[in-house]
Structure 1
Amino acid sequence: MTQRLASSRTDRRRVLFGIGTLATASLAGCLSDDDSDDPAEPIALTDGQTCDVCGMMITDQYGPAGQVFYEDGNPDVRDGPAWFDSVAELLEYAARQTSRGWTERGTFVTDYSSVEYELLEGDEALHISTHAAADDFADATECYYVADSEVQGAMGDDYLPFSARDDAETFADDHGGTVREWDSLATD
């Protein structure tokens, strides 16, 4: 009888241990910040976010904003995507993270085909307005970029993204530059 009672306690402990382990694992999965299986969706960068390369407040600058989500986690300093006040700085940051083994799961840039942008005189150059609401962004890999135009972004020369090729070509005709696709930007 003593042996049977000990065996019953052992079985009950195993069952309780198994239930506890399963509950802990389930809870950890629910609380995890790793949402890498979810599709990346752009967020608004209008609440005082600063560029992860230069530290300047994004909405205080000219030009396109951008954000990059990574499969293996978040930028070094916070939850969510990395933030940028220029496409040029986004590309610089993304190249560094790729060399560290990080994998992008979503990259978004201001889409000048979908916003009413302004061209503004300032600092002896022509600048394009910034737009950083969530709806102002498009998938960076599907945009066309005007490079080397007379219009400047936050850090001077920048790549100006348009989701419609015709819009990019018209902009380049009016303001100089060439139209390029995403894959060609990484070769600069």
Structure 2
Amino acid sequence: MLKLPYSRMLPVLFVLLAIFGLTGCNEEAKEKVMAQQAMALESGDECHLCGMLITRFPGPKGQVFERGIKQNMKFCSTRDMFAYALDPEHKHNIQSVFVHDMAVNPWEKPTDETYIDGRKAWFVIGSSKKGAMGPTLASFKTQEDAEAFAKEFGGELKRFDELTLDII
């Protein structure tokens, strides 16, 4: 067996610990990315905020993953999703946000295949279109689609980081 002086073993141990630590973090990050994807809406799914059946109402829906909670939270409207996600009690724990791209969805029944990253989306607030609880935020992948929607139905464009509870 190779015997190294203690002073030479210490750096080797640190390097080995760092390698094992980084490998573990990488696996955890992969699992998190794989696990945090928008899930299909089932007919019995209830809104995490208000308890209404999600699929019974028109307009864009939202889903959120919160740190420390493995299951995603589903919402009947983007308005309810933001009311939850922007609440100071939850805001710092939100990891992933998903919303429908309404440029490729029928307003009456958005499909599960068209979820986009909510943090990168464009939102139209104050339009004439209604969601589950009345006014809602129309969500879009591109600024051009959001502008076209606002031109037709009214409203103002906002980015995720511009939204506050006062605006909602």
Q: TM-score, normalised by structure 1?
A: 0.66
2: distance between equivalents of 1:59 and 1:45? 7
Instruction: Name the SS of the counterpart of 2:74 in structure 1.
Output: strand
Contact 2:119/2:160 (CA < 8 Å) preserved in 1? yes
Q: 1:42 aligns with which of 30, 38, 42?
A: 38
What is the one-letter code of the residue matched to 2:130? Q
Q: Which residue of 2 aligns with 1:131?
A: 110
2: distance between equivalents of 1:158 and 1:95? 15
What is the one-letter code of the residue matched to 2:94? E
Alignment of 1:141-156 (within 5 A): 141-156=119-134
Offset of residue 46 of structure 1: 2.7
Q: Which has the larger radius of gyration?
A: 1
**What do the CA deviations read for 1:89-145 (whole angstroms, capped 9, x no partner)?**
11111234x525751221101111233x1xxxxxxxxxx323141x22110011111
The runs of 5 or more residues in structure 1 that have no matched partner are: 1-33, 75-79, 118-127
Relative to structure 1, is the Cα distance of residues 95 and 146 closer, same or farther in structure 2, using a 3 angstrom cutoff? closer
2: distance between equivalents of 1:81 and 1:156? 24
Q: Which residue of 2 aligns with 1:160?
A: 138
1: distance between equivalents of 2:123 and 2:90? 26
The runs of 5 or more residues in structure 2 that have no matched partner are: 1-27
Contact 1:62/1:154 (CA < 8 Å) preserved in 2? yes
Contact 2:43/2:54 (CA < 8 Å) preserved in 1? no
1: distance between equivalents of 2:128 and 2:90? 34
CA RMSD of aligned residues (A): 2.2
Alignment of 1:30-69 (within 5 A): 38-39=32-33, 40-69=36-65
Q: Which residue of 2 aligns with 1:3?
A: none
Instruction: Name the SS of the counterpart of 2:80 in structure 1.
Output: helix
Q: Which residue of 2 aligns with 1:88?
A: 79
Instruction: Name the SS of the counterpart of 2:97 in structure 1.
Output: strand
Instruction: Name the SS of the counterpart of 1:113 in structure 2.
Output: helix
Offset of residue 85 of structure 1: 0.6
2: distance between equivalents of 1:62 and 1:151? 9
Relative to structure 1, is the Cα distance of residues 48 and 142 closer, same or farther in structure 2, using a 3 angstrom cutoff? same
1: distance between equivalents of 2:104 and 2:44? 23
Relative to structure 1, is the Cα distance of residues 144 and 82 closer, same or farther in structure 2, using a 3 angstrom cutoff? same
1: distance between equivalents of 2:99 and 2:56? 17
Moved over 6 A (4+): none
Whether 1:173 aligns to 2:151 is yes
Q: TM-score, normalised by structure 2?
A: 0.73
**What do the CA deviations read for 1:69-101 (whole angstroms, capped 9, x no partner)?**
112124xxxxx10110111111111234x5257
What is the one-letter code of the residue matched to 2:132? A
